[in-house]
Structure formats: C-alpha cells, structure tokens
Structure 1
Amino acid sequence: TCLAFAMALAQKRAKLEDCPDVSEEAKEKLAAASAPPMAKVVFGTGDNVVQIGQETVMFRHEEKFYNPTVLAVTVSDKLTGEDLTKRIEAVNALQFERIGIKIGARAIALVNDSGSPESFAQAAAAVKDAGDLALILVTQSPDAMAATVAKTKESVPLLASATPDTAEKMAKIAKENGCPIVAKADSIDTLADLTEKIKAEGVEDIVLNLQTPSLQDQLLNLSKVRALALKKVFRPLGYPTISFV
C-alpha cells in the first residue's frame, strides 16, 4: 500500500524511484524533504577532487563523519615567478603526522591581495599548472573572479566569496562556469538570507563563511550553524563551512 511504502521510504528501506505512480512534482518535494541535512559540495578534479559536507550528526560518536576536514594554505597573488613557484611547491609538500595518520594540505587558497584582476588570473593559472591540489579563489571583486575563473574553470575551483552586496554577480559567475561558491556574511541571519539569494540565482553548491571578531566567537557561531542544520534541519544553513584563520 501507499502507507507501507511511505513508511519504508521514511526508514530508508525503499527508494522513491521504486514507485511508478509518484508524480514528478511529488518526487521533487519528497527528494528535497529526504535530502541530507547538510549538502555535499565537491571542488577540484581527478586526483585533486575534494568533498566536504554531507554530515548527519553533531558528534562522531553518534554515527560517523563522512568527509574529513580539508586543510588549505593561502598563497598571495602578489608573489610572482620563482617566489610563487617555491610557495606552491612548499604547499604541495606540506605534510605532518597525527596519531599515526599522515595529514597534508588538500587545497591552495589563492588570495587576490594585489587587487588586480590580471595579477589574480596570472597567479591562478600558475597555481593550476604547478599545483597538485584543489584550488580556492579568494577575492571580493566580481571582475577579478570572472577573469580568473575563465582561466581555471576546468579545475572546478571553489569561489570565495559572495557577500550580500555581490551575491548576484558572483552567483552568475559560479553558475556559468559550474563552480561551487562561498557565501560570506557577518551574522547567522544574514548568512541564511544570503544562501537563499544565491540559490535563487540557480547555484546549489554553497559553502558557508561566517565572519566573527574572534576565534572564540567563530567556534561558538559555527556550532550554532551546525546545530541549526543538523538538529533543526534548517535548509538555508544546510551547507558545509569554511574558516580562514
């Protein structure tokens, strides 16, 4: 019966596509309702692909964590030539050991310190060619982002960041190039509104960046965001997070 199937679906013992009588509209609504409380976001390609998010619990002992925290190291676009190459090589080689497990950087975060779209694009191309890691592009300028994504989109970089003032322009760049995007705001409420604005522009792959005055505040607010996503299933905050420290 339909009731029995619905119960099996709720208990994840059945798949929505197993029922031939479900309308497309119902499929969309049920798929959205049954989606994980935190979305999975993927950036990078091939051996450099990175997956974050898709978590279902606050603490590891409740079930398990599905994707480990990703470490990235910043590189300034003010570096050029040999200095830039040495920095990239150092990040590629970065590795340390924790309780017998080797941990290394999984991404390079290229920062548009120069303020120049041309310098940013040139440095990004160099990082893409010489780097062994996924790429995060960090700039507040839509012009710099557009120029740089044009040279690196095949590596599927993470675009950081869209703010309330640049959301539409940054989301358009992300959508046109098939890249995930970071939503950056200074409060939880503003961040929730921002993700809805980005999603309305057709971008589903979002990472949250909550700006705070101190590391203590950041830890507290990130815990609040995680609880709202996982315990309350608050969809506007149901995305993985990124922090710059």
Structure 2
Amino acid sequence: MHKFLAFGDVHADFDTLWAALRAASCVDPAFGPTPPVVAGLYQVILVGDLVHPKNEREYARLSGLPRFDPKDPDHLFLAAREQVKHLERLKAYQEAAPHAVHIILGNHDDAVLNTSYVLGTSGGMVHSEFDPEHGGLMLPDHLKTWMQSFPREIRVGGVQFAHVSPLPAHSHYDDLFYADHSPKRWFRETPEYVEMAGLAFGIYGHTQIDDGILLDEEHRLAMIDALHAREYLELLLDPQAGDPDASPIRSVRAVPF
C-alpha cells in the first residue's frame, strides 16, 4: 500500500506549493524530502504547469513590484529570476528522492521549452519572461534539460496522472491543442473518456476549479488544479492488488491545508 499525494498546477505560486507539501508531511524545514518520501512510502506527483503566474497581481507578488508591467524588460527579468530560484529549489527536492517525486510536463512548461507558442492570461497579458524574442530571458540550460525529462503521464495500476485528460492528443501541446476547446471542457462534457481509456481512475489539472478539487467518483476522475483553493489530493493505492479487474484505489480524498 502506498500513499500518493497529488498537487495541482503551480503557476509560480511556489509558496503555496511548499505549504501544501509541508501539510502533507512531504517536505522538511530545509526543503528536503521527509523520511516517508525518501523511503518511497509517500509518492509525490505534481501535475504540471510549474511556471507563469496566473494574472498580473500574481506576477507583481512574485517579483515584489507594486505593479507588474509585462512590457518592461526589468520586470520580466525579476519575474524570470524569481521563478528560476524556486525551480532550482524544486529540482533539488526532486533529485533528493527521484523515485518518489514526479513532475508531469504541463503546457506552460512546454511553452517555455518551445517558445513558438506564446501563452497568455485570461486578462490578455502575455507570458514572455522566458521568451527572449519578447523581451524575456532564456531558461537556464540545466533547468531546460530537467524540464525536458518530465513525463507526459504517470500510470500506477490503472490509475493515470496527466496534465489535461486521458486523451493522448491532449498530452501534445501543438496547434490543434490550442485551437481545441475540449481540453478545458472534456471532464464536464465527456467524462466517459476515463472509462473508454480503460482506466480505474484519472487525476488531471490544467483547468482551474474555483471551489476546490472536483472529485467525480461516478466517472472515476479528479480535477485538481486547486492549489489556489488550498487543497491537494490524497490516494491510497495498492498497485499489487491480486484481481486485475479490481480498482487499486483504497481511498481518495481532497485534503485542505
């Protein structure tokens, strides 16, 4: 039996991420993994989108500015510098327990690696702090190599963790992905995708859930982009269950912190 702790999209709100990891007993005061994580008893999964604050207010908070101007190179420098600092800390945390700390590639992470796609906030502000062609900085090579190693999904005994959905097309962030509305709507319009994919359960991010984690037990899915609501998902899994047709899930719940 293993405990899986799944955390939704970070979007550069690393203070909240660390608070969630502390609440889940997954990180120590020195930002290292706790003994249960080192032992592999706790499995930590981040479902992607480490970078890019969600709005101008969050950019200002991150960069320490009273007001953030996305067209000011100095402001972009500050936003990039602060994210790099936190990414370095998260990289060190994962490397201290690579068997137990897993990070999925989100579309915002991919956009930093592949700057042909310029993403923006719902308010119309462009994420350009890691885009040299738009006044930003290049992500340092060692962090780029690290992020390129992120998987697009993780499967444990029929349970899938992915950034968007069970659909393979939703794990490749190309022109079709950004032209399609279904990545944001599938879990309400076609939640049967989880069953059609032959999954026992699916855990996804990408779409912010305002009221906290959406746990749809009927359709065997959880939407967990809910760090802003101060919730993470806890699952007890038995991937060695004897019956191959039985669900490996022993319990699943949203945990406030």
TM over 0.5, shorter chain: no
| Length-normalised TM-score, structure 1 | 0.31
State the structure with more CA Rg. 1
| Length-normalised TM-score, structure 2 | 0.30
Higher relative contact order, chain-length normalized (CA < 8 Å, sep 6+):
2
